[in-house]
Amino acid sequence: MNKLIHLFSLLSPFIVYSSNWYKGNTHVHTILCGHADSTPEVVAQWYHDYGYNFLILSEHNKFIDPSTVKLSGEIRDDFLLIPGEEVTGPVHSTAMNVTRLVPWEFKDKNRSKIVQWQIDETKKAGGITILNHPNAPIIRAAELFPVNDLYLFELYNAHPMTKNFGDAHRPSTSSLWNALLDKGMTIYGVASDDSHKFAKWDEKYDNPGRGWVMVFSDELSSDAITLAMNRGEFYSSSGVILKKVVVGKSQIEIEVDEEATARELTSKFLFGRSVKKGKPGTFVDFIGPGGEVEETISGIKASRIATQEYLRCMITHRIKKEDGLLREYYAWTQPVFTDGR
């Protein structure tokens, strides 16, 4: 199962992604960090049992060898632990698919240098970097402009303290993304859990199951998933599931999978983002340079041709809960570029 229908030809500018994608979480913690509540086995078992296809046990400055983590019961053959670590300093990053511990002791006042050092050290250990929770602490776009080889960052980190949507002191991670794309960077947005709690459950806790990626890959292996993410062949979700994503040379077309999205929203772990206004429904925003919303389409199918340097797409599913409160769930596609980057 989970075989990607990936229709791609060098003769065709279109990549059509549909059905059966690999669901994964790139960021989670265990008791080994000192402030989470469950063992690597309990954490991995949770993601296995809830239908994920891959997980990175991204412990702070510790390398958890996946071969040491034993799952129990009937183990699915489409579940994979990808080796990794969360490298910390004043800036945090996930070292994805590394073969060993990545050092973290580098200190510098210049945070561009810290990010670059983490990228370079992760590369030496065979992996790639995802810059984590850029709003906690805040890292400014200008600090990332000089950085090379950064292709992934956390657009949506589901930990309640991470301020993805910004506040009086910081712009949203979406604004950060626009600034990096406007500068000419090729960088893709990741959603992750960053959960620490599996023993106590509440909306206010950093529980799992709230942010993830759906990766298009020919196979479920650490190398294939990592390469696919580094090429932007995935979308990110906080609840909305897509049935179809067509990424053309200068076009995006999407279709929401209403049934699968409804199933996700029955999860008792998923609360969505509380908002004050807006009418219930599904809305697709096409976003271009400067963060300009070029078009909003109401409904579950949408497409648009890019007329500027890049185009990306954000899908919002807004519902009114029984308590009368509005909640939003999202999916984010990666950008298409028309300027040859």
**Smallest distance from the beta carbon of 333 to Zn ion, in angstroms?**
25
For Zn ion, the closer of residues 193 and 255 by Cβ is 193
For Zn ion, the closer of residues 140 and 231 by Cβ is 140
Please give the helix or strand (H or E) that residue 144 lies within, else none. helix 141-144
Instruction: Specify the residue for token string 């993304």.
Output: 177
Instruction: Tell whether residue 59 is a contact of Zn ion (CB under 5 A).
Output: no
* Four-residue CA torsion sign, 112, 118, 123, 128: negative
**Smallest distance from the beta carbon of 192 to Zn ion, in angstroms?**
8
For Zn ion, the closer of residues 30 and 316 by Cβ is 30
CA 221 to chain centre: 18
**Smallest distance from the beta carbon of 218 to Zn ion, in angstroms?**
29
- Binders of Zn ion among 107-146, rule CB under 5 A? 132
Q: Among 95-103, 115-123, 191-199, 264-272, which window interacts with Zn ion (CB under 5 A)?
A: 191-199
**Smallest distance from the beta carbon of 4 to Zn ion, in angstroms?**
29
**Smallest distance from the beta carbon of 248 to Zn ion, in angstroms?**
35
Give strand ranges (E) for 90-238. 93-96, 128-131, 152-157, 188-192, 212-215, 234-237
From residue 176, how far is each of 116, 135, 159, 172 by CA, in Å?
18, 9, 18, 7
Count of positions on this chain that bind Zn ion (CB under 5 A): 4
**Which residues does residue 80 pair with via DSSP β-bridges, in sequence order?**
54
For Zn ion, the closer of residues 82 and 240 by Cβ is 82
For Zn ion, the closer of residues 86 and 121 by Cβ is 86
Number of Cβ within 10 Å of residue 279's Cβ equals 9
For Zn ion, the closer of residues 118 and 226 by Cβ is 118
- Binders of Zn ion among 71-100, rule CB under 5 A? 86, 92
**Smallest distance from the beta carbon of 196 to Zn ion, in angstroms?**
8
**Smallest distance from the beta carbon of 84 to Zn ion, in angstroms?**
11
Cβ-Cβ contacts under 8 Å for 200 (sequence gap 6 or more): 37
Annotate 18-52 with DSSP letters as a single string: ES--EEEE--B--GGGSS--S-HHHHHHHHHHTT-
Longest dimension (CA), the chain: 53
Question: What track of x and - describes contact with Zn ion for positions 231 through 250 (by CB under 5 A)?
Answer: --------------------
Q: What dihedral do alpha carbons 248, 254, 260, 264 form, nearest 10°?
A: 100
Among 121, 194, 257, 328, binds Zn ion (CB under 5 A): 194
Is the Cβ–Cβ distance between 40 and 235 less than 8 Å?
Answer: no
Q: Helix, strand or coil for residue 301? A: strand
For Zn ion, the closer of residues 35 and 200 by Cβ is 35
Q: Which residues bind Zn ion (CB under 5 A)?
A: 86, 92, 132, 194
